[in-house]
Amino acid sequence: MLTLIFLLVISIPVSANPAESDSQGLEPFKDASTKSESGIDDYLKQMGFTDEELDFTSLGLKKDIASNGDTKIKVEKLDPEVVVKDEFG
């Protein structure tokens, strides 16, 4: 009986600029849980978020991100690689 084994590996590599990740970020936003959404949005824009990103982000997540501080790292999606192998390689 001939049995074929298929292995499908899908990876989505991303690239981050190391110079940006090593830079000094913003201090955590004090009392983010008590601030208004517009105040948190202003802080997140300083971190590097865009209006488009903030429009679909929940208030709870915004508060969580702001309370951690730092700087948003630019992420670039690269072409995914699909590898299909059978028992013969």
In this prediction the pTM is 0.56
pLDDT at 42: 92
pLDDT at 33: 81
Among candidate residues 60, 72, 1, the one with its CA nearest the CA of residue 32: 60
**3-state secondary structure at position 29:** coil
Q: What is the mean pLDDT of each run of 10 residues along the chain (89 residues)?
A: 46 44 69 87 89 91 87 77 80
pLDDT at 11: 44
**3-state secondary structure at position 31:** coil
pLDDT at 8: 44
pLDDT at 77: 76
pLDDT at 59: 92
